[in-house]
Amino acid sequence: MNKDDFFIGWADTPKVDRRFFLGAGLGLLAGTAATATGIAALQKPAGPGTWNMGEVRDWRGIATAEPYGMLRTLELDGTPRTALLGCQGKCGVSAKIGALAGKPVVVQGSLIQRGRHAMIAVIDGLDWIREDVDGEIGDLAFPTPEPIMNVSLNGEILDTKCWFGAMRPSSGKVHKSCASLCIRSGLPPAFYVEDPKQQSALMVMTSGGYGHNKDLLPYVADPVSITGQVQRFGDLFLLDAPVSAISRL
């Protein structure tokens, strides 16, 4: 009888078993790698947003606190652009703009950017904004929102800071608690829509021209439908709709 037909604990592993274990091990490794690659390929990209917290600089422009803290500036690409404002953590800064709203200011902070979407994360403390005594309003005055069309859209409510580049992932269920905390703390919320051809749009959310806050929390990061009005606000798009116009899908 062939001795390879038996297993003896203190003896060498039979050749037939060595071949089986080697093949099974290699197959298991290959299968695990293929499964991991397939799962990763099905995930949505985290997005191209960036934020280098160490690159703090002065930004000059015109500030506003409504509907959210914003800076209209030439220093993003030489044309009038709007950067949302937020703190280093999870908080808005509208209340600290005060009497400087509508005036030339200097804001100190670092840039969070995703494509043409931008936010300046201001430094901690009360001295992140000061009046620019040599500045001029010129073409930087904030425009009046211009109605474009009434719409009914399906998408997701998210916080702008994380989506612009402060956090990855920045959408979906895995980001729900973070997005809720950001919006609760005053960071501007936005509505993200994407069609079957993967064409997407992001609109900052308002209600009657004013900012949203805790009223949106029940719907953050869930699939929802919103009926409202798309407005052009300089280089930004707004979606103006009350909470009553939001329904869960």
Higher pLDDT, 132 or 1: 132
pLDDT at 199: 80
Domains and CATH numbers, the chain: 50-140 (2.40.50.140), 146-248 (2.40.50)
In this model, does residue 16 exceed pLDDT 80?
A: no
Q: What is the 3-state secondary structure (H, E, C) of 67-99?
A: CCCEEEECCCCCCCEEEEEECCCCCCCHHHCHH
pLDDT for the residue 67: 95
pLDDT band at 46 (very low <50, low <70, confident <90, very high): low
pLDDT at 111 over 70: yes
Q: Which range, of 33-37, 157-161, 190-194, averages the lowest pLDDT?
A: 33-37
Q: What pLDDT does 181 receive?
A: 93
